Structure 1
Amino acid sequence: MAKRIISLRIKLTATTVLLTFLVVAVFAMLILRFVSEEVEAETKRLASVSTKALDELGTSSSRYLALPAASPMYDNDLAALYSLVRPSIVQETGADVVTAFIVAENGRVWVALADYDISMFRLTADDAEPFYVATADPDAPTLLETLPDSWLARYRDAESLPLREVVNRPLVKGGQEETVELVQYTAAIIDRNGEHLGYLSLAYSQDKLRAEVSRIQADGKARQAGLRRFILLLGIIVLVVGCVIAILQALAITRNIKLLSKATQRIAQGDLSVRADVRSRDEIGLLGQQFNTMADRVQALLLETLEKAKLEKELDIARMIQEALVPPPGLTTLPGFRFAGFFRSASICGGDFWGYHVLAGGDLLLSIGDVTGHGVPSAMISAAAKSGLDTLINVSPSRLSLPYLLEELNKTVYDTAQRKFVMTFLAMKLDTRVGSLEFANAGHNFPLLLRSVNGKPEAQALIARGNRLGDVRNSRYQQIGCELLAGDLIFLYTDGLTEYRDPQGREYTERRLRRLLLSHCHLEPDAILSKVLSDLSEFAGNAPQEDDITIVVVRVGG
């Protein structure tokens, strides 16, 4: 079952939407966290300011009331003390003082006042302590109970006064007994001589402070909620806009990609005329241009391939024709001769050729040639020369001489190649009846004659000189003769053999060839040929063949 393909458009849209959502979410989290921290910091700051303001008020109020309290206390004037403390308790002043009292140094409570809705209160949480009647305007002020000495010890031992402390004060309010938490500030009452007469305490309620802090916190929460709504709305807007942009962008991108995909499919189906109409100034547009360029190139290459295939087919035919121009490989046996030949072109077609003709009377005519270069042009010249050679031998057998043969071939090559190509050529006639060897050379490599002298093989070059065929139209050639004995070995070759280079650029050389032939000259021609080719392969290694190679090995004697 084929796997379901997820559209690239869907992938791009989903990815963009997801990234947009993540960015908005992270941004919202960071903003909310920042605002929450700012609100908390502001709340703490305002609470600290309110607490500090209360501390400053309590400290200054207790200190300033304690200063004038020394004189009436020294005079035992309770009414003056009540008058001094009463304004701090009266509701209309707007102060937050809940209770106020003055205690003498001996522990006797001189003044005890409370807010208007508090009827009684204790100074300590000790249940054994009596409740004091709290009045802001007593008709007959009197001294109250005496507090234990331990209660006063904390003020006497305090490093500095006024002393701030948080106290839980039992009181009766609206007929109900309850305990409230108050912040109490106690200052020392000192006369002008520096003597401690007692202590004045003002206890403040924290209700307004708590209410202010609660208001600040509520305001901060409201700000946070408003910000959350704003960020949510903004996130939804950004997300919607991002989705729209993502869809439009995905459509724009995938449209061009679909065009490329369809064009690719049509090319894969063999329609090389299709082109991708991609119009965008980005990488996809560049890809479309490159695709069209590639399609043009593929179409051109296909045409070139077809032409090349046709040419290769024609070259194969030319190669087969050329192979038909040279004798087949293997050992050939004729009366008085045994010989083997080898031909290998450096390309599909080559400029080398060799052949033999049995003349009237049993003489053997050997020929070998090498057109400069290799490939089709050289093969055409060698084919023309081979055709001319066959024609001369068949048409003018009575006038056939080696110089005449080379001179006529020279004219043929000269007229055919127009001096663009030249050809080295060697013709050799062997007559075993009289034991003679005749040869003429047109600039070709000297053949080698190997003969046993006193039981030891010797090699000598058969030297004859002459212009290459096609070089000078009226060239003349010389025929050279020598004695031919049974058992002689004649080795003919083209320069592609001795000039073959190994991977280091060193040539095979005629010297190496001679040593090899002297070592194996007793073998049959085909065996000698195999030895030469094997040694050449070992020498060349993986070096490419740069020129055509032709070899002919002849053994005299049947």
Structure 2
Amino acid sequence: MGFNFRGLAFKQSLMILAAITVVFGLIFGIMSYKTQNMLNKMTVENGEETSRANVNYIDKLFNASKLIGEDLSHKLTDHPMTKSDMDDFLLQSLFNARNLVPQVVAVVVAYEPGMGPENTEGEYMRLARFDHVDTKLVSGANYQDKEWYYSVRDGKTSRWQEPFIGEFVPEPIAVYTVPLFKKDKNGEDVLVGVLAVDMSIEFLKEEIGSIPVSNSGYALVTTAKNLAVAYPKELAQGKRNRDIIVREKRGQKLIDFDRKGRDSSGLFIGTVADGEESAIYYTTINSTNWTFMVVWPIQKYLEDQKAMRKLFLLMALGGYGIILVIILLISFRVAKPLKELAMAARKLGRGNFDVAIPKMKGRDEVAEFAWAFSNMLTELKDNIEKQKDMKRIERELDLARNIQLSMLPGEERDENSDDDRHELAPFLLPAKEVGGDFYDFFKIDNDHLCVVIGDVSGKGVAAALFMMVARIILRTMTKNLKSVVDAFNKTNYALAKRNRLNMFVTVWAGIIDLRTGHIDFASAGHNPPAIRHKDGSVEFIPSKAGLVMAAMEGTVYKLQTCEMKKGDTLFLYTDGVTEATDSNNQLFNNDRLIEALKKSGNMNTADTCSFVKKEIDSFVKDAPQFDDITMLAIKFNGSDEPVWERYEKTIDVSGNNKGELKSFVEDILTPMDGAKKMQMQDAWERYEKIVDVIPENQDILTAFVEGILAPMDGSMKSQMQINIAIDEIYSNIVKFSGATEVTLIVEIRKATMMARLTFIDNGKPYDPIKQADPDISLPAEEREIGGLGIFIVKKTMDSVCYRRNGDKNELAITKTL
């Protein structure tokens, strides 16, 4: 067989070979680049993984020591002490500190001359230290020229000192130093001394030496001044700490590593202790500004890259040779028939569905492709018309379903209706892509929740559109009129007036008083709701079904009422639940619904709806769903707070606004009889303070409350108990809530000598009242940490109430003065 250098097969082969040559070259270059990046990334990830856990552990210990120092400094400056008191304070502080951080070995206090306890002149330095066996008290002197003292004295700021071997603690230590201040006669802060917390860093050497690092690597820790303080024993080899210097390679030069101007973590090439070149990954230890490093010798680091590039090159060359042979064989074989098929495909692409497909002899892949192409053309012509309409309908129905479901509320948080006094969960499953069932829930005001469920006659797009209109009108009317009956009457009139298709909708809607559980409701031909009581019993609420909505313009609906108790669950549903049908045309019916709700026990609302749906599925088995299934479950949790009629007036406490408050109260009490009016003449006065959540604002809140309560001449004991309560509650908000703002509302009633303080914060949900009380019968060292402060508040206040109001916590305490 002759070889045609001008033929399609040769040109095709030549072009493919040229393209493959370029592709293989690009692939090899890209893979080499990617390999290097991948190994670099793996190195960085390895460094990150190794660093993360160890840095977090080190940060945790040093931050704990820092907090200990800050806490002790506050206690020292808040309470004057004698020398005896100071010794007891130091011993107890060291004991408490070692319980939290065992690496703490000493607590030191040094005062400016004449500023120490019972000391009018001269230096005063006292420390408690742990010598591996016992705790001892030691006095010191000549500390004025020590860096740990004068750096804090001159800078007047807290800081971690560079590690050193202490005079009284004969081992390497890291020292956190805090300036001590007191107020002078002019109210200005004056430095009186320095407090130091000494922390042994011997543990770092053991930790660093035990860290496994791949590729013969190791870890080390350096200080802010690039002094190595923890490293493997193999690295030392008789060297001193000052000889173990980390240097970075810049061009052909090695310079001391400096983290200034860098990211908090990264990778560079350098040396350690003038050893071999290494890849070094560093991470900042934020608590001390030290650096944690993971080091890999460069030779080991590059071996993997070289091996991977060599493997890729061998694979590329082998693949290139194999593809060369295959291309030459296949090109001549398939070039001609593929050209004919390509011409037919181009005609087909232009819309010519009558194009003739060339027939191929044989049973090879090209012949099979030609037959499949011909068969595809025949089937394509038959199905293309059908698919056009089906796809359009499917797209429209999917869009309609998404629009319908997006119009209904999903979570209470989206509606701003969530609070701790109730729990709610909806469920909707249309029988078709779109349906006529709907539900709704929204708050009319802070204490009233409206719940709605409805079912439009018919199914499909028409029912869905009518449902959306009915829901919007009913929701708008209820919010504006605040009466379920008035809303029903107005909505019915609006729907019936232009109801040319004679559609109708059944609706049940109720307004729940979240303070009492009282429900005002109305029914427009809808199924009566069920209620599951706290004791597990279930019954249908007596509900007189009025005429369906949209049937007659002048229909008037009757107001009906019922009561829910704490723990009761209201269950709304459509007839798709009770009329679900099995293969024998038997209905799920009311009795099975009641039984399902009984079996659901004390489930939450979401699980209750899911359980009922499972019971329906178990009943109908494989029978198709003919109607929409919609449910809405509402559990009433109630509130321990009394039901108040609340009126609000905000005034500026700096002005003389007493007359304005009295006028406000008189306007409210005017409808009362004379005796009640006189009794309430001096009613609740309300003051409000908003602060950022920082520890320093505790004193501001305490002073704010004291300024309000002082004119009432209450007992000193009650005032102290209120101050302690403010301390404990505000501290919990600062430490645990994550809030950024606290509002404190103070309400006083002079007639009964009562005060009510309400703390409102925007932190995460937390009910301190539900926290178990600590066992105070146990010794202090055996009790679990936490809970004692709130326990004291509950014991000393007349009442303590909590509720979650929207996205805010509200904790109210009441005290008789």
TM-score (norm 1): 0.46
TM-score (norm 2): 0.32
Which structure has more relative contact order (CA 8 Å, sep 6+)? It is: 1
Between structure 1 and structure 2, the one with the greater Rg is: 1
